[in-house]
Amino acid sequence: MTDLGTTQTVELCTADLDPGEMRRIELDGYDPVAVYNIDGVYFTTADRCTHATASLSNGTLADDCVTCPIHNGTFHVPTGTATTFPAKIDLQTFRTRIENGQVIAELTPSQSSTESTTPSAPQRQEQTGRDHTSTTAVAVNRTTTTRSIASGSELVDAPNGRVDRRIFWDQDIYERELLQVFAKSWLFIAHDSQIPRPGDFITTWMGEDAVIVVRQLDGTIRAVINSCTHRGNRVCHADAGHVDQFVCNYHGWSFGIDGGRLLGVHESNIYEADPNWRPDELGLVEVAHLNTYKGLVFATFDRNAPTLAEFLGDFAWYLDVMLDNAEGGTEFLAGNVRSVLDCNWKVAAENFAGDSLHAGWTHDSGARAILDTSVATLAEGESYHVNVNGHGWEFNLDGVGNAATLGQRDVMRYLRSRHGEVVERLGETRANMLGAISSVNVFPNFSFLPGQATFRIWHPRGPHQTLLYTWVLVNKSAPQEVKDAYRKGVMMTFSPSGVFEMDDGENWEQATQVNRGVVTRHQPLHYGLGHDTAIDHPELPGNVHRSQVNDANQRAFYTHWAELMDSDPPAIPGATP
C-alpha cells in the first residue's frame, strides 16, 4: 500500500456496511475517506477523486472498482490504481482491519493547508558571463501524489550491479522521469555559436518540452517554452533562423525576441478595452535558469536547481579537454543530423557514459571499412572510468585512438601538430585524452566522443523511443580543411549513414523492445563489471576507477538517476492546478 508519512490508527465507523456499499467518513484532522465493503472485505481510500474534486462515495461501486460520479473515471479500490480515463493519478489507500466490530484504518493526517510556496532561493551567482535567471511567474512546489510505482532505490541496486528492466519499459516510470530527472537537471540546449546575432534562434527540446533558444539584443541568450500563452499553439515552426519576433499563427499574438515579451495581438483594441488585460504577464514562459560553460548553453526548469557549476562539479575539468584546448574556443559546424531509434534514451546514454567494451565487438565492421583493421585492443594499462554527479567519461591516454577512426589524415596531422600546445594549456594527461579511445555522457542525456567530435542529445520520446540530434564540434581556430575533414569523417562514421553508428542502433532497440515481455521484464541485467576498481589518483578529480573496461560509470549514472527519482519534485514554472 502507499504511505506519504507517519500514519495514525483511527477508528472510522461501525463495520455495518452491506457488501457493495461505500460510505464517506469525515474526521477532524484527516482528509475525508471512503470506506468500502467488497464481498465482505473492508477497504479504505481517499474520498476525493484525483482527477478533479468529486466525492467518490457519491459514485458507483461495481465489483471492486469505484466510478467517479462527475467524469466517470474509475479506480481499483484495493490498490487505488486509476484504471480508466480521465483518472490518471492513483488513489491513496489505507491499511484497514476490523476490530471489535469497528472499521480501523491507518490514516495519514491532513497535509498543511498551504499547497504552494515560493522558494526563497537566493539569486544565484552564475559562473561565466551571459547568464540569465528568469524572473517570470511564481515557481510552485508540486506535492507528490501517491507513489504506486517502484521507487528509484528499488529499481537500481548499484552495489550489486543490478538495474531493473522496468526503467526501460514502464510508462509510469517514464512520466515520473520527465519531471524528476529532466525537469530537475541542467539540460544542454545549444552551442553559443549556433545563434551569433540578436534575433538568431534554434528550436530544441528539454525532455519533451519544446523550447526556443534566442540571442537577445544585449548579447545574452534566453530560452522560452515554444507555446503561445493564449491557446498553446507553437509560436515558432522552424528549426533555426533569424526573426524580429515570434507570431502565433492562430490569433496573431506576437512575442518579442527579448525574453518572449508579448508585443501585440490581433484586434488588440478589443483586448485593451478590458481593464483586466495584463499583457505584461503573458510573455512566453521562460526556463528557470540558463547559463553557459565555455560555449555549451545549458538550461533548467527547476528554480531550486544547484548552479550550473555545482551541477557539473569537477566534470568541468574534463570538459575542458574538448572545450578549451585552443584559444578562441569551439563552434558547432552547420547542420543537425536527426534520426529516430526505437530504444529507451538511457540505453544510449549509458553506452556513452562508460561502454568501451562494446566497441571491439559491435564496431568491428566499421573499423575494417575505414581502417582495414579491427578496433584497437583496449590497453589495460592506463585507462579509466571517471564519474562526477552521474556524468561519466571513460578513456585511455593514447591520444589518437578515436580520432584515427575518422579516417581523415588532416585531422591526425592537426592533432599531432597541436599536441605540444595542448600540453602547455591543459597538461599532459588532458592532452592525451583529446583524441583517445573514449566516450562521454553529461547527465542525463548529452553525449559526445572526444576525437570523433560528434556531439549529441538523446531526446526522450516515450519509454520506447529516442529522438537523436547530432552535431560536429570543432575548434574555431582550426583551418577550414581540418573542419571539413571532421565533418566528412563524422558523416562516414557516426551519423545514421556512418559505418560505426549503423551497428549500435539495433543493439539498443532490441535491448529495449524485448522488455515488452512481462516475464522478460522480471529478469536481471548485469552491471557488475569492475566492482572493486575505485582508486585515488593524484591528478584526476571525481570518482576515479582504473580501467575503461568497466561498468562503474553506468552504475553511477543509474544511482544518480534513482536518487533523482526519489527526491523532492522540481519547482517548475506555473501553478499547480
Site pattern 266..305 for other proteins (x: CB under 8 A)? ----------------------------------------
| Distance (Å, whole) CA 106 – CA 185 | 36
Residues 6+ apart with CB under 8 A from 130: 192, 219, 220, 221, 291, 292
Q: Which stretch binds other proteins (CB under 8 A): 212-220, 309-317, 425-433, 506-514?
A: 506-514
Report the residue number, 78 or 496, with the smaller CB distance to other proteins.
496
Choose among 445, 446, 436: nearest CA to 379: 436
Residues 334-353 that bind other proteins (CB under 8 A): 334-343
- Asked if 497 is part of the footprint of other proteins (rule: CB under 8 A), the reply reads yes
Residue matched to cell numbers 523532492? 568
Least separation in angstroms between CB 473 and other proteins: 12
* Beta pairing class for 543-546 and 383-388: antiparallel
Least separation in angstroms between CB 379 and other proteins: 22
Least separation in angstroms between CB 357 and other proteins: 15
Total residues in contact with other proteins, by rule CB under 8 A: 48
Q: Which stretch binds other proteins (CB under 8 A): 40-48, 207-215, 502-510, 556-564?
A: 502-510
| Distance (Å, whole) CA 209 – CA 399 | 38
**Cα separations (Å) of 43 from 7, 11, 37, 147?**
16, 13, 7, 18
The helix or strand, by DSSP H or E, that contains position 168, with its residue range, turns out to be none
Residues 209-248 that bind other proteins (CB under 8 A): 237-243
* Residue of the chain from 170, 209, 501, 551 that contacts other proteins (CB under 8 A): 501
Least separation in angstroms between CB 496 and other proteins: 5
Report the residue number, 260 or 569, with the smaller CB distance to other proteins.
260
Contact 145, 4 (CB under 8 A): no
Residues 362-381 that bind other proteins (CB under 8 A): 362, 364-366, 368-370
Residues 6+ apart with CB under 8 A from 575: 116, 138, 140
* Residue of the chain from 61, 403, 473, 499 that contacts other proteins (CB under 8 A): 499
Q: What is the 3-state secondary structure (H, E, C) of 460-506?
A: ECCCCCEEEEEEEEEECCCCHHHHHHHHHHHHHHCCCCCCCHHHHHH
Report the residue number, 178 or 240, with the smaller CB distance to other proteins.
240
Tell me which residues are annotated as active site: 251, 355, 358, 363, 504
Residue matched to cell numbers 517502484? 150
User: Which residues form the interface with other proteins (CB under 8 A)?
Assistant: 237-243, 333-343, 362, 364-366, 368-370, 407, 467, 470-472, 484, 487-488, 490-492, 495-497, 499, 501-506, 508-509
